[in-house]
Amino acid sequence: MNKRAAIVGASGYSGEELVRLLLNHPHAELTAVTSRQYAGQTIAQAFRKFAHLPRARTLRFSEPNAELLAKQAEAVFLALPHGVAAEYAIPLLQLGCQVIDLSADFRVKNPAAYKEFYAHDHPAPDLLKKSVYGLPEIYRAQIKNAPLVASPGCYPTSILLPTIPLLREGLIRPTGIIADSISGVSGAGRKLEQDYLFVECNESARPYGIPKHRHLSEIEQELSLAAQTPVTIQFTPHLIPVSRGILTTIYLAPAEHFQSRTGVSPVSGLSNAATMDAVAEKISICYHSAFGNEPFIRLLDGKSLPDIKNVIGANVIEIAWRLDPRTGRLIVMSALDNIVKGASGQAVQSFNIMSGFPETAGLL
Amino acid sequence: MNKRAAIVGASGYSGEELVRLLLNHPHAELTAVTSRQYAGQTIAQAFRKFAHLPRARTLRFSEPNAELLAKQAEAVFLALPHGVAAEYAIPLLQLGCQVIDLSADFRVKNPAAYKEFYAHDHPAPDLLKKSVYGLPEIYRAQIKNAPLVASPGCYPTSILLPTIPLLREGLIRPTGIIADSISGVSGAGRKLEQDYLFVECNESARPYGIPKHRHLSEIEQELSLAAQTPVTIQFTPHLIPVSRGILTTIYLAPAEHFQSRTGVSPVSGLSNAATMDAVAEKISICYHSAFGNEPFIRLLDGKSLPDIKNVIGANVIEIAWRLDPRTGRLIVMSALDNIVKGASGQAVQSFNIMSGFPETAGLL
Amino acid sequence: MNKRAAIVGASGYSGEELVRLLLNHPHAELTAVTSRQYAGQTIAQAFRKFAHLPRARTLRFSEPNAELLAKQAEAVFLALPHGVAAEYAIPLLQLGCQVIDLSADFRVKNPAAYKEFYAHDHPAPDLLKKSVYGLPEIYRAQIKNAPLVASPGCYPTSILLPTIPLLREGLIRPTGIIADSISGVSGAGRKLEQDYLFVECNESARPYGIPKHRHLSEIEQELSLAAQTPVTIQFTPHLIPVSRGILTTIYLAPAEHFQSRTGVSPVSGLSNAATMDAVAEKISICYHSAFGNEPFIRLLDGKSLPDIKNVIGANVIEIAWRLDPRTGRLIVMSALDNIVKGASGQAVQSFNIMSGFPETAGLL
Amino acid sequence: MNKRAAIVGASGYSGEELVRLLLNHPHAELTAVTSRQYAGQTIAQAFRKFAHLPRARTLRFSEPNAELLAKQAEAVFLALPHGVAAEYAIPLLQLGCQVIDLSADFRVKNPAAYKEFYAHDHPAPDLLKKSVYGLPEIYRAQIKNAPLVASPGCYPTSILLPTIPLLREGLIRPTGIIADSISGVSGAGRKLEQDYLFVECNESARPYGIPKHRHLSEIEQELSLAAQTPVTIQFTPHLIPVSRGILTTIYLAPAEHFQSRTGVSPVSGLSNAATMDAVAEKISICYHSAFGNEPFIRLLDGKSLPDIKNVIGANVIEIAWRLDPRTGRLIVMSALDNIVKGASGQAVQSFNIMSGFPETAGLL
């Protein structure tokens, strides 16, 4: 039997992708989409690209109304700007809905950390305890019974999935981690700012938001949980002229190396070929053990390296890794579609888990 | 009085840009361009975009011939693939020409290092002693009287210029340096490989050539000279869908920090605000002292960060830096046009120095 | 029950898209894919982007062999370069397979016209009588029982679908038709030619192949059938820096206009507002009558105009039209994805019809 | 001696390009730039990409003030939005300045035509008589002594230059002309509208503004003057994902053809090879006679076709033509950089003529 689902705030890129995924979902029925901007229009009118889907020609956008939504749907996706999810999450949860929030509002567990990075008090600190960080490959069991899933976004997903297994296994040092990301422009949303005009982005590449990007709060929270020690990382996002996709390169120090040494630079320990091979094998085993059976994680063997063009439109993250015998460092690279595995696809993945559907339903 | 200049191997992107720069140069007369592919054609025929320049309609490509070139020009630019520059450099130098080589062939001083990275013996080890590494902001005095300038390419320039002053002043630790670069597709040259087809590059972003890129040999050579100690760095190039430009993000550790600590992660020392401010001031003074009067180095103050769109077509490198109080790291970012400041513009800059012309002649 | 399908020549962009569509098809089982280049590899190895689809990890490319294919599949898609389809079509048809050919080899009915445009004799003129031109919206009934469908490509589809209904109804003059198209680079296939390198296509726009493009032969054949008089058109293709998509603008003369006049320019007849409105209404009725219920034709009303970004990845053609009171001309615009509705999606649409499946199966 | 020049409204793309051209001009001294948005900032601060030019670091934007400007400059460029040029042109002309206006405000000579296309009365109809349409290749003599030059924009230039010589010589019929253009996004200016966001333009191609684009008023005015009969044309602009450039394809009917026929379609006359060759020769002679010595018009012979990548950044228009023996039509194609030959470069070209400088000064 199909499950009724609704989307609140469906006018942005993530909301639009949720519409696409849920209209094509074999076990979900999209019963409501809200948007103040598009209220009254059909999905086909607001997003012409879906006009060939029959349901898009009949379902109309409405003004958001929690009570009404609770009657229309068992599960509600919130695709709202930062800071306003609580306004809908609170009543929807009280009315018995499952809530999957795509904003950062319920991802940071510690209200103090939230305030440090977002510069205001959390609007619903009680809900933080109820929410589950919606990274299915890490928190599948908790997501299953969660009333509220805080579905992580693109940068966190691209950093956390490749790093958490290594930290959990103690294969890398929890200090000195650097994540360098390049992102497509849809990551900025449909904002009308000069910086995101075609002419300003085309033939451009630039860092931004450094050194203290807001998403560091949730990234470090999850890395610290994996490492069982506080983790502080370096994170540099860059904007490049593609519509979608994130490629992240992560610089890590294998733990073996540091057991015997005090700095990164003297690499004689690791450059010992036998040690290198042993470390490489442990890392490979770690990844295949953690993710070998995951339907949405593509571990790249051989000479392949991640490329966003291989994940665009798919709920997939590609991961590859290299040990550098010259420096002793481990370099891990990941690629995902920021709107799918980095947003709406991942949210539907959690929805599937919460609903008892096959986790890949509507996502292959 | 104008100086006669020639270009050997003018069919690639760097050669084409040399043609443009020398055709517009107020003190140079382009007297010969060679290319087996285009021999017999005028520049206007081979590169239609220059057809409105009068000289392009009369100057014809010829087969490369060192003796003839030595009669046609006082200075010869070599824009040849790796490994074949020696064939022309040897006779041209013997015949009294100044030679500016854009390949990597004369950049690595140590024949053993050359062999390690290029997998064959150097074809003219004697010339390595005569050649000067053509980074004008670092080796201006040596370039002035050099018979042979080995003009550095895009990745080395984007890493060396922001890093050398800090190493020379001892402001950063010479270990653990990471350089993460994103590059436009012209960096690969006009190679007919599937990887460089439009459809394979568009909406794509990918690392490549890791972990041991050939240019590491010259980068580490120059960093070691600046640090007066052997330096090994981590370098990760990525390809993004722009035609031109390189953006490099460099992760460094301020030296103060490490005098009292053994690892990167415990940052209490630097996160002390007063210490941070002192370090920041030293770095700022270092950069302004080293580069404040350089016509082609744009030090970005305030909130500005490098963007390749601000350097495309110009012989300019943009540099910005940030100290991160959370990690204690120094992040330095640079942007340049890989074909201009990362290749042909830089070569003309050396040509100007070698010729006693204003260094900015033909480059503003 | 599922139908077994095979793809011959699955290494190009159309073949790759066929793989995607058939792997996701609810009623088809992809049982064989052939490619000399990839023989022995799994689909997942050759096309990493499909690696998350379970079937892609087990199905391996083989060398093409008609006898074997006839045992493996009831329907065979040929995605081969021009001129070689007959080699497979002849034995496959003899062995009882349904054949859907994506090349131009069986689209031109007249062997003399074929020779005029393709410069060699047709390799299997007998098959031309058996083949059906695979434009489902025009030849649905014939496709249903066809053993051999010649599935049309991107330019023909973008011109024929908007023009045929008007010609059939006599609403436009069959003379003086102009079609001006702009196409993405995948239209050129995976050819290793300098013209298709990223740097040569990016920030470029150019006409090519004028004035006598090969596809004119089939376009004019089909327009002549619709008009019941020989039709000769003007067609100008252009290349623009997008990966996929074709936008075609067609200039037509309403027939009313010409009943009373001899030239296009004197527009007093049509600029009569009442006449204009009457013509406009007839055109609108014609389109809605012909295509109003077509699942893959999006007739744009109101102010909307076609945009390839609204059809990328979908088996959809967008069509809009405007009558210009100043010139008396009718301008019709269409947009489609050259690899989907302009190639592989359309082929699967015919496959569905030939198989008695819902026409939209696997295509929504 | 240098001439002092000022730019009013230098914050848009055309203004920015004027800054670049005048800063590099050998005979002009840029003495004032105005912009309400940037008032008080140096050029280097507002447009970082010019920061390596010494003058950019000292010249500051000011609020626009005609009296002050008249003291600062002999020639003033107006790079203002449509409708406001008169406010500055009137006082500047009274105060003795030469004025070069880049807007459409003084291009249409007939106030009634202006009102028809721009929907309001012309603000200074008296000035229309004084202004010269600033197409140097057509109106060089008049520009020389004009106090006010109305410098044409990108679409008009791309259509007029290839068409006027043919009309003047009577080689083409003045009726039924169609111009189909594809344009880069900078043509829309720095407008903050969703349509011009990177994600909305990338991988997009779309017509817009049809069928009655405002620039038709000036295009038809100039074509009518050339033909000495009223000319009405069909014009369809399209937007494609490049930053700069316009490619226009023009469909024309050779006049010979029509002397003996009443319609475009029956082509027996022209398809007569001898007639075709004669027509082709006349067209070639016409173009070479009109433009053969023009420094900024690149007539393409042989197999070459226009490509915007060959004119980006240059004050050049490429023109090629083909006679189609199948249809009897003449197809003329042109390419230019909408910001240079289609705006600021052309304005500087007029400035050179008005100032008695070599016409190519600062433009090669």
Shortest Cα distance from A183 to chain B (angstroms)?
A: 9
Q: Does C193 reach chain B within 8 Å, measured CB to CB?
A: yes
Of D176, D204, D241, nearest to C263 by CB-CB distance is D176
Structure token digits, residue C90? 């002849």
Rounded to an integer, the average pLDDT of C161-186 is 97
The separation between CA D236 and the C-alpha centre of its own chain, rounded to angstroms, equals 17
Lowest-pLDDT range of B154-158, C173-177, D140-144, D268-272: D268-272
pLDDT digits (tens, 9 = 90+) for C213-244: 889 999 999 999 999 999 999 999 999 999 99
Contact at 8 Å (CB) between D362 and D193?
A: no
Cβ contact C24–A364 (<8 Å): yes
Q: Which residue has the tokens 């997998």?
A: B119
Q: Does B212 reach chain A within 8 Å, measured CB to CB?
A: yes
Structure token digits, residue D172? 């083409």
Report the chain C residue with the minimal C-alpha distance to residue A49: C310
Cβ-based contacts of B316 with chain D (< 8 Å) = 52
Which of A240, A238, A239, A267 is CA-nearest to residue A253? Answer: A267
Separation CA C254–CA C267 (nearest Å):
11
The answer, as to whether pTM is greater than 0.80, is yes
Residue D264 pLDDT class (50, 70, 90 cuts): very low
What does the pLDDT read at residue B270? 52
Q: Does D122 reach chain B within 8 Å, measured CB to CB?
A: no
Residue B240 pLDDT class (50, 70, 90 cuts): very high
pLDDT higher for D117 or B160?
Answer: B160
Peptide bond into C211 cis (omega under 30): yes
Q: Does B298 reach chain D within 8 Å, measured CB to CB?
A: yes
Cβ contact D247–C238 (<8 Å): yes
Q: Does B288 reach chain D within 8 Å, measured CB to CB?
A: no
Average pLDDT value over all residues in chain D: 93
DSSP per-residue codes, C327-338: T--EEEEEEE-T
Cβ-based contacts of D242 with chain A (< 8 Å) = 202
The answer to whether residue B286 is catalytic is no
Residue D270 pLDDT class (50, 70, 90 cuts): low
The pair phi, psi for residue D242, each rounded to 5°, is -130, 155
Separation CA A98–CA C142 (nearest Å):
50
Q: Does B304 reach chain D within 8 Å, measured CB to CB?
A: yes
D289-D290-D292 Cα angle (round to 5):
65
pLDDT digits (tens, 9 = 90+) for D58-79: 999 999 999 999 999 999 999 9
What does the pLDDT read at residue D211? 81
Cβ-based contacts of D309 with chain C (< 8 Å) = 200, 202-204, 206
Residue B256 pLDDT class (50, 70, 90 cuts): low
Residue D212 pLDDT class (50, 70, 90 cuts): confident
Cβ-based contacts of D198 with chain A (< 8 Å) = 185, 196-198, 200-202, 241, 243
Report the chain A residue with the minimal C-alpha distance to residue B175: A265
pLDDT digits (tens, 9 = 90+) for C136-170: 999 999 999 999 999 999 999 999 999 999 999 99
D324-D330-D333 Cα angle (round to 5):
110
**Residues for chain C: how many in total?**
364
The pair phi, psi for residue C249, each rounded to 5°, is -115, 125
The pair phi, psi for residue D271, each rounded to 5°, is -70, -10
HSE-CB at D341 with a 13 A cutoff on CA atoms is 33
Separation CA A184–CA A201 (nearest Å):
10
Output the CA–CA distances (angstroms, integers) from residue C94 to C91, C117, C348, in the order listed: 5, 28, 22
Q: Judge whether residue C267 has pLDDT over 70.
A: no
pLDDT digits (tens, 9 = 90+) for B47-71: 999 999 999 999 999 999 999 999 9
What does the pLDDT read at residue D289? 98
Q: Judge whether residue B275 has pLDDT over 90.
A: no
Amino acid at A337: D
At a CB cut-off of 8 Å and minimum separation 6, what does D159 contact? D179, D181, D219, D223, D233, D235, D248, D250, D334
At a CB cut-off of 8 Å and minimum separation 6, what does C145 contact? C354
Cβ contact C310–A48 (<8 Å): yes
At a CB cut-off of 8 Å and minimum separation 6, what does B342 contact? B153, B154, B155, B157, B158, B246, B336
Contact at 8 Å (CB) between C69 and C6?
A: yes
Cβ-based contacts of C192 with chain B (< 8 Å) = 192-194, 197
DSSP per-residue codes, C253-311: -BHHHHHS-SSSS--HHHHSHHHHHHHHHHHHHHHHHHHTT-TTEEE--TT----GGGT
Cβ contact B199–C193 (<8 Å): no
Report the chain B residue with the minimal C-alpha distance to residue D304: B48
pLDDT higher for D270 or D144?
Answer: D144
Please name each of the domains of chain A with its CATH number.
3-151+342-355 (3.40.50.720), 155-337 (3.30.360.10)
Residue C1 pLDDT class (50, 70, 90 cuts): confident
Cβ contact D331–C265 (<8 Å): no
What does the pLDDT read at residue A265? 40
Of D182, D236, D327, nearest to C232 by CB-CB distance is D327
pLDDT digits (tens, 9 = 90+) for B14-26: 999 999 999 999 9
Residue D311 pLDDT class (50, 70, 90 cuts): very high
Active site residues of C: 154
Cβ contact B24–D364 (<8 Å): yes
Q: Does D325 reach chain B within 8 Å, measured CB to CB?
A: no
Of B49, B52, B295, nearest to D52 by CB-CB distance is B295
What does the pLDDT read at residue A287? 98
Q: Does C134 reach chain D within 8 Å, measured CB to CB?
A: no
| Sheet arrangement for strand A3-8 | A61-62, A28-34, A3-8, A75-78, A98-101, A148-150, A131-133
Average pLDDT value over all residues in chain B: 93
pLDDT higher for C301 or A262?
Answer: C301
pLDDT digits (tens, 9 = 90+) for D288-303: 999 999 999 999 988 9
Of B13, B198, B241, nearest to C196 by CB-CB distance is B198
Partners of D3 in beta bridges: D28
Q: Does D13 reach chain A within 8 Å, measured CB to CB?
A: yes
Q: Judge whether residue B190 has pLDDT over 70.
A: yes
Residue D210 pLDDT class (50, 70, 90 cuts): confident
Q: Judge whether residue C266 has pLDDT over 50.
A: no
Q: Which residue has the tokens 């539907």?
A: A348
Partners of B7 in beta bridges: B33, B77
Q: Judge whether residue B234 has pLDDT over 80.
A: yes
In this complex, the chains that touch B, judged by 3 or more CB pairs closer than 8 A, are A, C, D
Tens digit of each residue's pLDDT, chain A (364 residues): 799 999 999 999 999 999 999 999 999 999 999 999 999 999 999 999 999 999 999 999 999 999 999 999 999 999 998 889 999 999 999 999 999 999 999 999 999 999 999 888 998 999 999 999 999 999 999 999 999 999 999 999 999 999 999 999 999 999 999 999 999 999 988 889 999 999 999 999 999 988 888 899 999 999 999 999 999 999 999 999 999 999 999 999 998 654 433 344 434 445 567 788 899 999 999 999 999 999 999 999 889 999 999 999 999 999 999 999 999 999 999 999 999 999 999 999 999 999 999 999 999 9
Cβ-based contacts of B300 with chain D (< 8 Å) = 48
Which of A363, A362, A350, A359 is CA-nearest to residue A147? Answer: A350
At a CB cut-off of 8 Å and minimum separation 6, what does C316 contact? A52, C296, C297, C298, C310, C336, C337, C340, C341
Report the chain D residue with the minimal C-alpha distance to residue A13: D199
Cβ contact B202–C198 (<8 Å): yes
Q: Does B13 reach chain C within 8 Å, measured CB to CB?
A: yes
What does the pLDDT read at residue D89? 96
The pair phi, psi for residue C339, each rounded to 5°, is -95, -20
Amino acid at C188: A
pLDDT digits (tens, 9 = 90+) for C185-214: 999 888 899 999 999 999 999 999 888 888
Eight-state DSSP code of residue A301:
-
Of B185, B192, B203, nearest to C192 by CB-CB distance is B192
Which of B283, B266, B284 is CA-nearest to residue B328? Answer: B266
What does the pLDDT read at residue B257? 52
What does the pLDDT read at residue A268? 42
Contact at 8 Å (CB) between D61 and D55?
A: no
For residue A155, give the H/E element and its range.
Answer: helix A154-168
Separation CA C279–CA C266 (nearest Å):
17
Q: Which residue has the tokens 């202004």?
A: D131
What does the pLDDT read at residue A262? 38
Q: Does D229 reach chain C within 8 Å, measured CB to CB?
A: no
pLDDT digits (tens, 9 = 90+) for A91-100: 999 999 999 9
Beta strands in chain C (DSSP E): 3-8, 28-34, 61-62, 75-78, 98-101, 131-133, 148-150, 178-183, 206-207, 234-239, 246-252, 297-299, 317-323, 330-336
